[in-house]
């Protein structure tokens, strides 16, 4: 008799949980089907130039893994990434999401690299939540993000090598005094 009662209780539990689990999976599937990410190879050709400064570039970019990306400085301020726009100028987006930045007129030729870095490593992301993320320096979080609510996030990079993918999700955690796992979120725009 005890076995029959336990079986009946399990059947009631399954019949109660099954519609809920199916609904949650249907919602997740629907969100995935309509979710899309746009992967953009950033070019500064339409960037709004806030200032033209004088400076130099001493090394390849620490953020953008591209052969045309540099770490440059003007005075005591470093800019990374900066992209070659001519033999003697680079464009440095200070706000890639609004396509604004500065141009640096170079006092020295650009450094030469032995080999080009991998082209599929993103350096900036705009998440579906509105959070804006920049790739950190080596040794830091992969991406440091600031959300629209002011919460700081650390996110893993998207895996851009998935063949045929139209949506890329990243795992994020909130940082600071109340660190918490934020789960997986859609990267709406990914800059390479």
Going by C-alpha positions, the residue among 93, 97, 55, 86 that lies closest to residue 73 is 55
Q: Residue 23 falls within a domain, yes or no?
A: no
Instruction: Count how many Cα atoms sit within 13 Å of the Cα of residue 3 in the half-sphere of its side chain.
Output: 0
25: phi > 0 → left, psi -120 to 50 → alpha, else beta; which? Answer: alpha
Q: Residue 176 falls within a domain, yes or no?
A: yes
Q: Residue 54 falls within a domain, yes or no?
A: yes
Q: Residue 174 falls within a domain, yes or no?
A: yes
More confident residue, 7 or 115: 115
The encoded tokens of residue 28 equal 């997740």
C-alpha triplet 67, 165, 156: angle, nearest 5°: 60
pTM to 2 decimals? 0.76
Are residues 154 and 176 located together in one domain of the fold? yes
Are residues 174 and 124 located together in one domain of the fold? yes
Q: What is the pLDDT of residues 43-52, one digit of tens each?
A: 999 999 999 9
**pLDDT winner (highest mean) among 6-10, 16-20, 24-28, 117-121:** 117-121
| Neighbouring C-beta atoms of residue 145, cutoff 10 Å | 25
Residue where one domain finishes, among candidates 66, 83, 106: 106
Are residues 79 and 136 located together in one domain of the fold? no
Q: Which residues fall within 8 angstroms of residue 175, CB to CB, at 6 or more apart? A: 141, 152, 153, 154
Q: Residue 157 falls within a domain, yes or no?
A: yes
> Mean of the pLDDT values across residues 79-102?
96
Q: Residue 34 falls within a domain, yes or no?
A: no
What's the pLDDT at 51? 97
Q: Residue 140 falls within a domain, yes or no?
A: yes
Q: How many domains does the chain have?
A: 2
Q: Which domain holds residue 128?
A: 120-191
Name the E strands within the chain.
Answer: 38-40, 48-60, 69-74, 77-86, 89-95, 100-106, 124-127, 132-135, 143-146, 152-155, 169-174, 180-191
Q: Which residues fall within 8 angstroms of residue 118, CB to CB, at 6 or more apart? A: 65
Are residues 97 and 124 located together in one domain of the fold? no
More confident residue, 18 or 80: 80
Going by C-alpha positions, the residue among 97, 98, 51 that lies closest to residue 75 is 51
Residue where one domain finishes, among candidates 80, 106, 132: 106
What's the pLDDT at 35? 86
CA distance 132 to 32: 21
Mean pLDDT of the chain: 81
Residue where one domain finishes, among candidates 58, 82, 106: 106
Are residues 148 and 92 located together in one domain of the fold? no
DSSP 3-state assignment of 75?
coil
What's the pLDDT at 59? 93
Q: Residue 179 falls within a domain, yes or no?
A: yes
């Amino acid at each position: 008799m005890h076995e029959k009662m336990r079986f009946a209780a399990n059947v009631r539990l399954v019949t109660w949980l099954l519609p809920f689990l199916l609904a949650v999976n249907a919602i997740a599937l629907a969100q995935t089907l309509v979710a899309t990410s746009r992967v953009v190879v950033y070019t500064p050709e339409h960037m709004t130039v806030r200032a033209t400064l004088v400076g130099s570039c001493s090394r390849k970019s620490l953020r953008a893994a591209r052969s045309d990306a540099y770490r440059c400085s003007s005075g005591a301020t470093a800019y990374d990434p900066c992209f070659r726009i001519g033999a003697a100028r680079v464009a440095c987006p200070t706000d890639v999401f609004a396509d604004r930045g500065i141009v640096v007129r170079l006092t020295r030729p650009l450094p030469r690299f032995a080999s080009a870095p991998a082209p599929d490593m993103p350096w900036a992301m705009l998440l579906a939540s509105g959070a804006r993320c920049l790739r950190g320096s080596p040794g830091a979080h992969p991406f440091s993000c600031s959300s629209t609510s002011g919460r700081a996030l650390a996110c893993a990079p998207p895996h851009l090598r998935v063949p045929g993918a139209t949506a890329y999700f990243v795992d994020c955690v909130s940082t600071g005094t109340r660190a918490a796992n934020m789960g997986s979120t859609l990267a709406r725009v990914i800059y390479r």
